[in-house]
Amino acid sequence: AIDGVMSNPQRPFVAIVGGSKVSTKITIIEKLMEKCDKIIIGGGMTYTFAAAQGGKVGKSICEPDMFPVALEILKKAEEKGIKIVTSPDALIADDFSQDANTQEASASNIPDAWEGVDIASEGKKLFRDEILECKTILWNGPVGVFEVDQFGEGTKALSLAIAESAGFSIAGGGDTLAAIDKYQVADQIGYISTGGGAFLEFVEGKTLPAVAALLERA
């Protein structure tokens, strides 16, 4: 299933890459840029990209040492004609807890004492529209801190949009599986990989020992 998507996808092909840090997803993003028509970037990575472009991200997770990498990704995507999609707004919280006060704000203008914890209204609509346009969807990583219920509406909306899509969807990674389970959309996903790390390595183009052994016997 993964090999088919990566080698001969029906187009448009969108990849959704969530998670907290650019540093842990840079390899997969670079690989997907060779294959995809557009890439949706969510989760904590949003704020590194926003800050790299001069935005204010408050207390949000951010990797200043990855600013050059984020800017290079945007430059390469523009050169290749690949659309990079991030949420224009964020759900922000004054504390990392279920009882936190929340409000919506621009993802690039978050007050100093607040942090981004999820996409907000505009992001939900934008991500849904982008997904429904595509015939192939690859999903790895939530777009918010979905483990906390009030910070999970963005990931819920994302999962429902993927479930609604008529395209072929493939999903993998531990947090992704947890979200699929939480929002009960497993029967509406085309293929679910239970091998989190192996899923990422295979998408990145690395050789998996067991797969290599099987190919040798074929």
pTM (two decimals): 0.95
pLDDT at 218: 75
pLDDT by 10s per residue, the chain, length 218: 888 999 999 999 999 999 899 999 998 999 999 999 999 999 999 999 999 999 999 999 999 999 999 999 999 999 999 999 999 999 999 999 999 999 999 999 999 999 999 999 999 999 999 999 999 999 999 999 999 999 999 999 999 999 999 999 999 988 999 999 999 999 999 999 987 788 888 888 888 998 899 989 87
Q: For the residues of 89-147, what is the DSSP string, one character each? A: EEEEESSSSTT--EEEEETTEE-TT-EEEEE-HHHHHHHHHHHHT-SEEEEES-SS-TT
CB 51 within 8 A of CB 207: no
C-alpha–C-alpha distance, residues 124 and 153, integer Å: 9
pLDDT at 32: 95
H or E stretch covering 204: none
84: helix, coil or strand? strand
pLDDT at 168: 97
DSSP E strands in the chain: the ranges are: 13-17, 38-41, 56-57, 83-85, 89-93, 102-106, 109-110, 115-119, 136-140, 168-172, 191-193
